[in-house]
Amino acid sequence: MFKPHVTVACVVHAAGKFLIVEETINHKALWNQPAGHLEADETLLQAAERELWEETGIRAQPQFFLRMHQWIAPDNTPFLRFSFVIELATPLPTEPHDSDIDRCLWLTPQQILEANNLRSPLVAESIRCYQQQERYPLSLVSSYNWPF
């Protein structure tokens, strides 16, 4: 049976900038959106909120569904990545609670799109989707008869 990794990501935007988390992997500083794996006892939206708080210290709820990407990483790991949009009035201070996160950065779209240290190409692709005004209601990824 095919079992892809299910991940969530938050495209957090405020005043023309996007929130990026930096983590060191194999001695290289890589950039990503606040993102991580879906846990067994949570909905996609709960996972997005949890990952945002763990990686940035910001408590906010997604307002829109951006896109689901099916992707195979260079190591052949299959992923389903659900991306959500969070709009903030101003860039907020950050305080990562996840020891894997070195720091958070508020960057322009161009800085992200031109970066050579993205954790995956989906980081830039999510920014491009955002720039194309893709926004969908959260009801597209709602839970059904959720027991928790």
- Tens of pLDDT along 14-68? 999 999 999 999 999 999 999 999 999 999 999 999 999 999 999 999 999 999 9
Task: Report if residue 147 sits inside a domain.
Answer: no
Task: Report if residue 145 sits inside a domain.
Answer: no
Total domains in the chain come to 1
Question: What are 101's strand-pairing partners?
Answer: 23
Q: Which residue has the higher pLDDT, 140 or 145?
A: 140
How crowded is residue 127: how many other Cβ atoms within 10 Å of its Cβ? Answer: 23
CATH number at 27 reads: 3.90.79.10
Task: Report if residue 43 sits inside a domain.
Answer: yes
Task: Report if residue 146 sits inside a domain.
Answer: no
pLDDT level of residue 145 (50, 70, 90 thresholds): confident
**pLDDT tens digits along 79-129:** 999 999 999 999 999 999 999 999 999 999 999 999 999 999 999 999 999
Task: Report if residue 61 sits inside a domain.
Answer: yes
Residue 34, domain extent? 5-140
Task: Report if residue 90 sits inside a domain.
Answer: yes
Whole-number pLDDT of residue 134: 85
Alpha-carbon separation of residue 67 from 4, 37, 81, 103 (angstroms): 17, 16, 8, 26
Task: Report if residue 32 sits inside a domain.
Answer: yes
Residue 39 has φ and ψ, to the nearest 5°, of -90, 160
Distance CA 61, CA 40 (A): 20
